[in-house]
Structure 1
Amino acid sequence: MNKPANFSQNSKSRYLSSEQVEEMGAKIEALRREIMDSLNEKDAEYIYKIRNFVRYSEIASRGMLMFAGWIPPVWLLATGLLGVSKIVENMELGHNVMHGQFDWLNDPSLHGASYDWDTMATGQDWKYTHNYVHHTYTNIVGMDHDVGYGLIRVSDAQRWEPRFLLNVPLAAQLMLFFEWYVGIQRLHLEDVIAYKTKTWAQVWQDAADVRKKMKRQILKDYVFFPLIAGPNAIPVFAGNAAANIIRSLWASAVIFNGHFTEDAENFEMDNIENETRAEWYLRQIRGSSNFTGATWLHILSGNLSHQIEHHLFPDMPANRYAEAAPKIKALCAEYGVNYNEAGFVKQFSSVWVKIAKYSLPNDWKAEAKHYAAKAKTSLNALLADKLKF
């Protein structure tokens, strides 16, 4: 058989024949149809409850900040609640609605085509970089920009550059400013800074929509709400800033756990044009990671704690992933495919081991010699040029 993109090296999964892949894929598809055909009013009630929580928690937290934010315990409580509200709006409401998971309700306010969330990224940019690029080419190096976000190295298939020596601090500040990085992801700033294949003029032109969105978000959180708070402007400003950072740190941790764990595989582009649906299913499983936890943890993660099931069924209401997960896990056991699942802390720890590992080149000794020789050559050339004078 041809070697499709869903077969990579260093896998814990057993090799499957084409027939086995297609057989497994058919069972996954049957499970998808079974769950999608059973969607009902309980699923509708669930998403409306989530939306109500977002609305009322935001009202309550902003009210506390505006009227009593100068009291330290109230500020802490209000800021934490606003952070949670923003997390749930992004993860369990916005992300899932923009995948079209609730289009079947025919509610314009919960339709994937029109929903735009409370974050720096525009809905349209997100749906292109995430819904289309990432979910189509999941973990294929050179096609899925989520493999390192153009900033960090998380795969031995990524060409090593000296800047990746800063992999760990770069990853830490990626988490801190995750909202902003997601907002500008489609602009591919690494093409300007690292590769010089794009100009800042092009970036400015391409950024018209995201500039408008960022302006709106900045005015809302850092001008409008502090302004109407009057004498409590500073606590409101600080609370909004802290809540946004809380959301960035949590959202990035969830995303890292779903994609960058040690057992999450990356793939090459070979034969991707001939990949079947079943092979695509298998790649989603092998390139994703789940983490276990209580119900509240699943809700706060937008049910991306079931990242494997989300990658298999991105348009399935996320509250159904818990139903699909044990069946997918059983299928993986039947076919000898690694089902990457562990506790949150264990998965997150493995992420940082991987990030640290890939800060060095695959053959770090050879690369060190190469760059030392290159630096020596440049120094000699500079000295020779100086000696002419």
Structure 2
Amino acid sequence: MTAEHLTEADYETIARELDSLRDEITADLGDRDSAYIHNVIRLQRALEIGGRAMLFASALPPAWIAGTATLTVAKILENMEIGHNVMHGQWDWMRDPKIHSTTWEWDNVSPAEQWKHSHNFVHHTFTNVIGKDNDVGYGILRVTPEQPWHWANVPQPIYNALLAMFFEYGVALHDLDIDSIRAGENDPEETKEKLRAIGRKIARQWAKDYVAFPLLTGPQFLSTLAANFTANVARNVWAHTIIFCGHFPGDVEVFEEEQLEGETRGEWYVRQLLGSANITGSRLFHLMTGNLSHQIEHHLFPDLPSNRYAEIAPRVRALCDKYDLPYHTGSLRKQIGSTWGKIFRYAFPGGSRPTASDPGPAPEALPAPEPVPVA
């Protein structure tokens, strides 16, 4: 672990500094933040309406391509910058019942309530703790040498490609806790109820994307059906790519369950720093990732509005420099290469943890603190 040099006093100071940063941002939330999320929602809805309208002429290749691309962007925005972040409670401070973590149901086959438990609670509490955080390999991938190897890992690059294409279904099954089912430790009735909820959500999503909207386009039914399927797969691949590149590239660290015993707030913060990675890019790129390209800042402050992550990133990086902690960051191409490289390598026995990572761009090269213009 690269934080072994930290003292108890260091952890206490880190906790105070990050708590102070959080309090500062929370106290500053106001009209510009509210305007940001409302503008993003308006943009997303306009893109979805425009994309679906173009698909009324989907028999024509240019209209099919334009409509599918526009619908894909709308679905990415809804899932990542809106749905994911609203359900994290990032906008609950506005007390708007229409944009609230308790009421939002996203355009995804994963039921919101199950996702909030598996993601908001399990993953963000036990980030990268083997045996506690089901996101480490999603139950089917060996992504670190600390995980035991099995012959079933050999074809895992194929598993990962399929997971990317149908990522929303993998996410939907996440809260079932497959490991507990395999071990016979689950509550069968609870599992059945979760499966029924997943089935109902899948039925609603399929009825919308693969029946209702294609039927509305009349003779364009099949081409619209294909467009909706393509948009969903493209959205899934993009979400999978961004999420995996925020958790598994380079020398991002994993932790043993024993390290949770007596964990202080400062130690929790440091575990988030060591177990996350950022992706560099433009302000538009950050918007399209749901600002999960600032995965480090998101893991530190999961319920702070996402439009503030670019603003606080230089200060988080400066804190890492101050305490000689790594700040994992790199381009999308670098992070994709590193992540897939690990998936191929750890498909086979053995493997060792990387010893160095790209330091990434200098703090001053990070995005400006202004919110992304969306209207």
Q: What TM-score do you get using the length of structure 1 for normalisation? A: 0.87
Within 2, Cα distance between the matches of 1:37 and 1:154?
39
The answer on 1:21 being equivalent to 2:11 is: yes
CA RMSD of aligned residues (A): 1.8
SS at match of 2:155: helix
AA at the equivalent of 2:84 = H
Distance 1:202 1:29, change over 3 A: closer
Could you tell me whether the CA contact under 8 Å between 1:262 and 1:353 is conserved in 2? no
With over 3 angstroms needed to count, the CA separation of the structure-2 counterparts of 1:326 and 1:211, relative to structure 1, is same
Cα distance in 2 for partners of 1:24, 1:103 equals 27
Residues 14 and 336, structure 1, Cα contact 8 Å, conserved in 2: no
Structure 1 16/175 Cα, relative in aligned 2: closer, same or farther at 3 Å?
A: same
Counterpart of 2:349 in structure 1 is: 361
C-alpha contact 2:137 2:143 (8 A) present in aligned 1: yes
Paired residue for 1:174, among 163, 169, 178? 163
Q: 1-side partners of 2:154 and 2:290: how far apart?
A: 32
For the 8 Å contact 1:14–1:337, the answer to whether it is kept is no
C-alpha distance in 1 between matches for 2:108 and 2:46: 18
2:325 to 337, 344, 352: 337
2:40 paired residue number: 50
CA offsets per residue over residues 232-291 of structure 1, 9 Å max, x none?
101110000000001000000000110010221100011413111111000000000001
1:299 to partner: Cα distance: 0.3
Residue 51 of structure 2: aligned partner: 61
Relative to structure 1, is the Cα distance of residues 147 and 31 closer, same or farther in structure 2, using a 3 angstrom cutoff?
Answer: same
% identity of equivalent residues: 43
* 1:38 corresponds to which of 18, 23, 28: 28
Match for residue 134 of structure 1 among 119, 123, 147 = 123
Paired residues of 1:261 and 1:350 also in contact (CA < 8 A)? yes
Deviations 1:65-97 (A, max 9, x none): 0x2111101101110110110000000000000
2:279 matched to which residue of 1?
291
| Letter of the 1:237 counterpart | L
Aligned residues: 352
Does the 8 Å CA contact 1:120/1:180 hold for their aligned counterparts? yes
Distance across 2 between alignment mates of 1:205 and 1:39: 39
Q: Distance in 2 between matches of 1:329 and 1:155?
A: 25
Q: Distance in 2 between matches of 1:256 and 1:319?
A: 21
Matches within 5 A, 1:126-275: 126-189=115-178, 203-275=191-263
Alpha-carbon offset, residue 312 of structure 1: 0.2
Residue 379 of structure 1 corresponds to none
CA contact (8 A) 2:345 2:351 kept: no
AA of the residue aligned to 2:281: G
Deviation at 1:114, TM superposition (A): 1.0
TM-score normalised by length of structure 2: 0.90
**In 1, Cα distance between equivalents of 2:131 and 2:179:** 13
Q: CA deviation at 1:17?
A: 1.1
**Alignment map for 1:344-355 (pairs within 5 Å):** 344-355=332-343
Structure 2 unaligned blocks of 5 or more: 353-375
Q: Counterparts of 2:276 and 2:185 in 1: how far apart (Å)?
A: 31
Q: Secondary structure at the match of 2:279?
A: strand
Structure 1 distance, partners of 2:185, 2:145, is 23
